[in-house]
Homo-oligomer: A and B are copies of this chain.
Amino acid sequence: MLDLWNHYPIIARKLETVNSLINQRLATQNNSVQDLLAACAQEQGKLLRPGLFLLFSQLGDRQQQDEQQLFKIAASLELLHRASLIHDDIIDDSPLRHGTITIQAKYGKDVAVYAGDLLFTVFFQILIETMNGTPYMEYNAASMKNLLLGELSQMHARFDKAQTIGEYLENIKGKTAALFKLACTEGAHFGHADKNTVALAARIGENIGISFQIFDDILDYDSTAKILKKPVLEDIGQGVYTSPLLFAVAEHPEKFTPYLDKKQNITPQEIKKVAKLVRNYGGLAQAKQLARTYTEKALSDIDQLPHSETTSKIRKIALVLLKRNF
């Protein structure tokens, strides 16, 4: 899980505490769901959101920080993320996530619906413990809503080859960037940074999130299952038309129509042909350029943060996310 955070030993150590906290919160007396929740607790990903939260919290005034509160908020971000992943995997019928069998594949879709719901409640319970009465309660609820509206819009846009890059960007702003923005903003705020830093953190988080999602979509065309630990070339068959495809289709729509009009009946061989067309018509190159634009927006805001060791680390993370192959 911690490949990314290995170069940040303090954050990596804190993330271990965050993980223990999640395990502890998902432990239950209820025998019938104990196995299930233990499985939800073990579903470790890159811990990108709690890691960013902890990193941004270091921009603040350490003297004023409540470490236990920070661990709990970090855990809340990961729980919200995992709850949404559990429900995503139901929709995508996904057998694997980060190389591990998914909750829906292991326990069935029915159980996965409730398991995701249960994680949402634990998320809210932690918010209530740590920030009840503050405006951050509403910020969290609104972020969760944006996340879901992004997912629903993406679902609505399935198999829509006329989708614009603008619409695609709107969807990933909700689906992915909302939570990155929340993580970085909360990090700066609950780390007791000044208001200007909190406002910068919000913009940096959102732009890193957009860039991250564009890269994630590129990896579906550009990586191998071994590196990614998940199946590749899944998006086309599922009708999730992301920026590499949308850019290439805009160049030569007629080349893609015969394949894409087959919608879910497209064969694996045809998907490979489409992927080749995407590459040949510059879809991957244009998508990479788009991701770079958002990373550069983030970098220009990072440069406005007070110069410190933490700021350098944030800069490095943003750059790593642009070249990642995990």
A27 close to chain B: CB less than 8 A: no
Query: A134-175: contact bitstring with B at CB < 8 Å (1 yes, 0 no)?
Result: 100110011011001101110111000000000000000000
Contact A141–B121 (Cβ < 8 Å):
yes
Q: How far is the CB of A230 from chain B (nearest CB, A)?
A: 19
Q: Which residues of B contact A137 (CB under 8 A)?
A: 128, 132, 137
Question: CA separation between A114 and B90, bound complex, in Å?
Answer: 10
Contact A118–B148 (Cβ < 8 Å):
yes
Chain B residue at smallest Cβ distance from A29: B149
Query: A113-128: contact bitstring with B at CB < 8 Å (1 yes, 0 no)?
Result: 1111110111011001
Contact of A113 among B91, B141, B149, B157 (CB under 8 A): B91
Binding-face segment, A30-38, A57-65, A218-226: A30-38
Chain B residue at smallest Cβ distance from A149: B30
Contact of A138 among B125, B134, B148, B151 (CB under 8 A): B125
Chain B residue at smallest Cβ distance from A153: B32
Contact B87–A113 (Cβ < 8 Å):
yes
Query: A21-52: contact bitstring with B at CB < 8 Å (1 yes, 0 no)?
Result: 00000001010110010000000000000000
Chain B residue at smallest Cβ distance from A36: B152
Contact of A133 among B33, B87, B90, B133 (CB under 8 A): B133
> How many copies are assembled?
2
Given the contacts A113-B91, A132-B132, A145-B118, A32 and B124 also touching, CB distance less than 8 Å: no
Q: How many residues of A contact B (CB 8 A)?
A: 42
Question: CA separation between A125 and B50, bound complex, in Å?
Answer: 23
Q: How far is the CB of A16 from chain B (nearest CB, A)?
A: 26
A254 close to chain B: CB less than 8 A: no
A111 close to chain B: CB less than 8 A: yes
Contact B128–A138 (Cβ < 8 Å):
yes
Contact A114–B151 (Cβ < 8 Å):
yes
Question: CA separation between A87 and B111, bound complex, in Å?
Answer: 11
A97 close to chain B: CB less than 8 A: no
Contact B113–A142 (Cβ < 8 Å):
no
A309 close to chain B: CB less than 8 A: no
Q: Which residues of B contact A98 (CB under 8 A)?
A: none
A263 close to chain B: CB less than 8 A: no
Q: Which residues of B contact A36 (CB under 8 A)?
A: 152
Chain B residue at smallest Cβ distance from A144: B121
Q: How far is the CB of A223 from chain B (nearest CB, A)?
A: 26
Contact B152–A33 (Cβ < 8 Å):
yes
Given the contacts A30-B149, A148-B121, A152-B36, A141 and B128 also touching, CB distance less than 8 Å: yes
Q: Which residues of B contact A3 (CB under 8 A)?
A: none
Chain B residue at smallest Cβ distance from A113: B87
Question: CA separation between A234 and B70, bound complex, in Å?
Answer: 48
Question: CA separation between A84 and B113, bound complex, in Å?
Answer: 10
Contact A33–B149 (Cβ < 8 Å):
yes
Contact of A111 among B115, B118, B145, B152 (CB under 8 A): B152
Question: CA separation between A228 and B220, bound complex, in Å?
Answer: 49
Contact of A110 among B91, B111, B138 (CB under 8 A): B91
Q: Which residues of B contact A110 (CB under 8 A)?
A: 90-91, 155
**5 interchain residue pairs of minimum CB distance:** A133-B133, A32-B156, A91-B110, A121-B145, A33-B152
